Structure 1
Amino acid sequence: MADDLGDDWWSEEPAGEEKAEAQVESLTENEVHSPLKAQGHRDRKKRPHQETKKQISQAKKDESHNAHPDGEPKKKKRRKKKKMSEHLADAALKPGTSEDLMALLHKQYQGKLSAIEMQELQLSDKSFLPSNSTSAPLSSYLKSCIPKWNNLVKKTKPVKPNACLLLLVTASAKRAVDLNRQGSEFKGQCVSAKLFAKHLKIQEQIKLLNKNGAHFAVGTPNRISALIQTDGVKVEETFYVILDWNWRDVKLRRMVDMPEVRQDLLELLRKHIIPATRNSEKLRIGLF
Structure 2
Amino acid sequence: MSSRRGDTRSKTSLKNPKKRIPLGPYRAKTKSKKKIKHDDNNKNNETNNNVLPATASQQLSFFLDQYQSANGIQLSSLELEAIKDTCVVELSEGLAQNATSLGEHMKAAFGLSWKEVLCEKQLLEGNIDPGNPALLIVSLSALRSLELLRGLRPLTGECHAAKLFSKHMKIEDQVSYLKNRVNIASGTPSRIKKLIDMEALGLSRLAVIVLDMQTDVKGYSLFTLPQVRDEFWDLYKSYFHERLVQGDLRICLYGALPVSSEVKKKKTMTTE
Report TM bin, short chain: 0.5 to 0.7
Amino acid at match of 1:244: D
Partner of residue 172, structure 1: 141
Work out whether residues 165 and 238 of structure 1, in 8 Å CA contact, stay in contact via their aligned partners in 2. Answer: yes
Partner of residue 8, structure 1: none
Confirm or deny that 1:244 pairs with 2:212: yes
Partner of residue 260, structure 2: none
State, as a whole percentage, how many aligned pairs show the same letter: 25
- Give the C-alpha shift of residue 101 in structure 1: 0.8
Shift in CA distance, 132/252, structure 1 to aligned 2, threshold 3 Å: farther
Aligned residues: 195
Partner of residue 65, structure 2: 103
Q: Which has the larger radius of gyration?
A: 1
Give the structure-2-normalised TM-score. 0.62
- Give the C-alpha shift of residue 233 in structure 1: 1.1
Shift in CA distance, 122/175, structure 1 to aligned 2, threshold 3 Å: farther
Among 236, 250, 267, the residue aligned to 1:284: 250
Work out whether residues 68 and 75 of structure 2, in 8 Å CA contact, stay in contact via their aligned partners in 1. Answer: no
**Distance (whole Å) between structure 1 residues aligned to residue 92 and residue 190 of structure 2:** 24
Among 226, 246, 258, the residue aligned to 2:225: 258
* TM-superposition CA deviations, 1:13-70 (whole Å, max 9, x none): xxxxxxxxxxxxxxxxxxxxxxxxxxxxxxxxxxxxxxxxxxxxxxxxxxxxxxxxxx
- Give the C-alpha shift of residue 226 in structure 1: 0.8
Partner of residue 89, structure 2: 129
RMSD in angstroms over aligned alpha carbons?
3.1
* Secondary structure, counterpart of 1:214 in structure 2: coil
Amino acid at match of 1:101: F
Amino acid at match of 2:117: L
Shift in CA distance, 279/212, structure 1 to aligned 2, threshold 3 Å: farther
Amino acid at match of 2:147: D
**Distance (whole Å) between structure 1 residues aligned to residue 215 and residue 110 of structure 2:** 24
Q: Which runs of 5 or more residues in structure 1 are unaligned? A: 1-84
Work out whether residues 168 and 242 of structure 1, in 8 Å CA contact, stay in contact via their aligned partners in 2. Answer: yes
Shift in CA distance, 122/222, structure 1 to aligned 2, threshold 3 Å: farther
Task: Spell out the pairing of 1:125-274 with structure 2 (5 A cutoff).
Answer: 125-131=85-91, 135-136=96-97, 137-147=101-111, 148-153=113-118, 157-158=122-123, 159-209=128-178, 211-245=179-213, 247-274=214-241
* TM-superposition CA deviations, 1:50-95 (whole Å, max 9, x none): xxxxxxxxxxxxxxxxxxxxxxxxxxxxxxxxxxx99xx8xx9776
**Distance (whole Å) between structure 1 residues aligned to residue 227 and residue 145 of structure 2:** 17
Q: Which sits farther off after the overlay, 165-174 or 181-190?
A: 181-190
* Secondary structure, counterpart of 1:272 in structure 2: helix
**Distance (whole Å) between structure 2 residues aligned to residue 98 and residue 220 of structure 1:** 22
- Give the C-alpha shift of residue 186 in structure 1: 4.0
* Secondary structure, counterpart of 1:177 in structure 2: helix
Give the structure-1-normalised TM-score. 0.59
Amino acid at match of 1:221: P
Amino acid at match of 1:198: K
Work out whether residues 169 and 243 of structure 1, in 8 Å CA contact, stay in contact via their aligned partners in 2. Answer: yes
Amino acid at match of 1:275: E
**Distance (whole Å) between structure 1 residues aligned to residue 75 and residue 161 of structure 2:** 39
Work out whether residues 236 and 280 of structure 1, in 8 Å CA contact, stay in contact via their aligned partners in 2. Answer: no
Work out whether residues 98 and 131 of structure 1, in 8 Å CA contact, stay in contact via their aligned partners in 2. Answer: no
- Give the C-alpha shift of residue 221 in structure 1: 0.6
**Distance (whole Å) between structure 2 residues aligned to residue 153 and residue 216 of structure 1:** 7
Amino acid at match of 1:141: H
Partner of residue 48, structure 1: none
Q: Which runs of 5 or more residues in structure 2 are unaligned? A: 1-39, 255-272
* Secondary structure, counterpart of 2:209 in structure 1: strand
Work out whether residues 119 and 183 of structure 2, in 8 Å CA contact, stay in contact via their aligned partners in 1. Answer: no
Work out whether residues 169 and 218 of structure 1, in 8 Å CA contact, stay in contact via their aligned partners in 2. Answer: yes
- Give the C-alpha shift of residue 179 in structure 1: 1.0
